Structure 1
Amino acid sequence: MSTQVVILAAGMGSRLGRTLPKSLTELSDGRTIMRQQHDNIHAAFGHTAKITTVVGYKLDYIIDAFPEANYVYNEQYDVTNTSKSLLRALRRTKPGGVLWMNGDVVFDPTVLVRATNLVQRDQSFVTVNTSKVSDEEVKYTTDAEGYIKELSKTVRGGLGEAVGINYISSRDKAALISHLQRVDDQDYFERGIELAIEHDGLRVEPFDISDLYAVEVDFAEDLERANLYV
């Protein structure tokens, strides 16, 4: 079965100060952030991987740049957060697990190559970086068995940061969809994962990629840092 991949790229990305969608920001190697993501997806899962992109702000630019992808429109992109974009995408996917990522993450191709084992096992996971724990980032804790327990920006005593690349298994997808429906419009998708863990007992692995690069590009300094790697 082809790997199902979702890219969340509906937002305006105003903090970066660009006129185009943030995912179309050009990197120092000439590729856009989204092109780097597509290349990484194909390197790990082949060209049969099914990529669905959630669009909103200036969607035509993204569709024109990647006509081969499938698209889901979040018409409320300016008043909702990633929880509702992911919800729209998951509802449109076929049976089976789904890998998804934020559309502004520049990351090492090896991340997805390593993740193939977890995807093949159909094991839900959240990709994490344990080398730093910043107050403004989504952080996590684990339970006694090593699975994710808490996942939010308000976590105390976080073990690391969530990177923005995740997978929900075929058996866990319905529970995540249910909780994404219930969370507030301004919640990040991590809130849906956290509630599914709490109420449905989802066992979500922290997938540590601390030795690899993964940069969420929110500000100009993030872009500068990402360009050091590509």
Structure 2
Amino acid sequence: MTTQIVILAAGMGSRLGRSLPKPLTELSDGRTIMGQQFDNIHHAFGRDADVTVVVGYKLEHIMEAFPAASFVYNEQYDQTNTSKSLLRALQASGNGGVLWMNGDVVFDPEVLDRVRPLIVRDQSFVTVNTASVSDEEVKYTTSAEGYIDQLSKTVKGGLGEAVGINYVSSRDKAVLIRQLQKVGAQDYFERGIELAIERNGMLVEPLDISDLYAVEIDFAEDLERANLHV
């Protein structure tokens, strides 16, 4: 199985207060955030996994750190959000589905083992944590059939939080690209998913990884929490 994998790493990550791009933040075990992501990818998909990194802010540092990766440039990294970075990556991808992740997520290697069956089925999904429902995080609800219904930070009565590791199937990719083209520059990619569900009937499974760790690093306390696991 050849899986196309994208890491979104174009943003400035100013909330963490570091001079380098946030994915290059060092963890307590000596690896960087993106370094542990590559380790997890290689664990699940092998050393020859097809990885594309969307870069923007201080891109040369990321390109130097991971020379074996492919790169897509979001030249408007300081004016756009993850929706437009994902759009560029999907437009540059080959045939087939795409697994993508935010470049600031520290997560258990077993997460990618768990997602493999859905990728083999070519089923679009969003990984979720049902153990926490924070106001500041992207939350979700489901339809009567169990698929994702709403997906945003403003969801009321959320069943859990989106973790930031997702997959779009080969049959859904064109629809998602169209909706990502329509959303605002400052929208997160979740808005594109939500519109594809609402307007095109895209079926997106919530994949529960609550028993595994996955920490999105926005603030110093997130980094401290992540370092308890690595």
Deviation at 1:130, TM superposition (A): 0.2
Give the distance between the partners of 2:103 and 2:4, measured in 1 at CA.
15
Q: What residue identity is the alignment partner of 1:136?
A: E
Q: Is residue 216 of structure 2 the alignment partner of residue 186 of structure 1?
A: no
1:150-229 maps to which residues of 2 (within 5 A)? 150-229=150-229
Deviation for aligned residue 1:223:
0.3
1:40-91 alpha-carbon deviations (Å, 9 max, x no partner):
0111111221000000000000000000000000000001000000000000
Q: CA deviation at 1:199?
A: 0.7
- The equivalent residue for 1:61 is 61
3-state SS in 2 of match to 1:218: coil
Please name the residue that 1:36 is paired with.
36
Where does residue 76 of structure 2 map in the other structure? 76
Q: Are the counterparts in 2 of residues 3 and 48 from structure 1 also a CA contact under 8 Å? A: no
Distance 1:179 1:203 in 2: 15
TM-score, normalization: structure 1?
0.99
How much identity, in percent, do the aligned residues show? 77
| Corresponding residue for residue 115 of structure 1 | 115
C-alpha separation between the residues in 1 aligned to 2:63 and 2:159? 38
In structure 2, what is the equivalent of residue 14 of structure 1? 14
Structure 2: 5+ residue runs without aligned partners? none
Find the aligned partners of 2:201 and 2:165 in 1 and give their Cα distance: 21
The answer for unaligned runs of 5 or more in structure 1 is none
**How far did 1:177 drift?**
0.1
What is the CA RMSD across the aligned residues, in angstroms? 0.5
> TM-score by structure 2 length?
0.99
- Which residue in 1 is equivalent to 2:98? 98
Q: What is the alpha-carbon distance in structure 2 between the residues aligned to residue 111 and residue 206 of structure 1?
A: 13
Separation of aligned partners in 2, 1:48 and 1:12: 29
Q: How many residues align?
A: 230
**SS of residue in 2 equivalent to 1:7:** strand
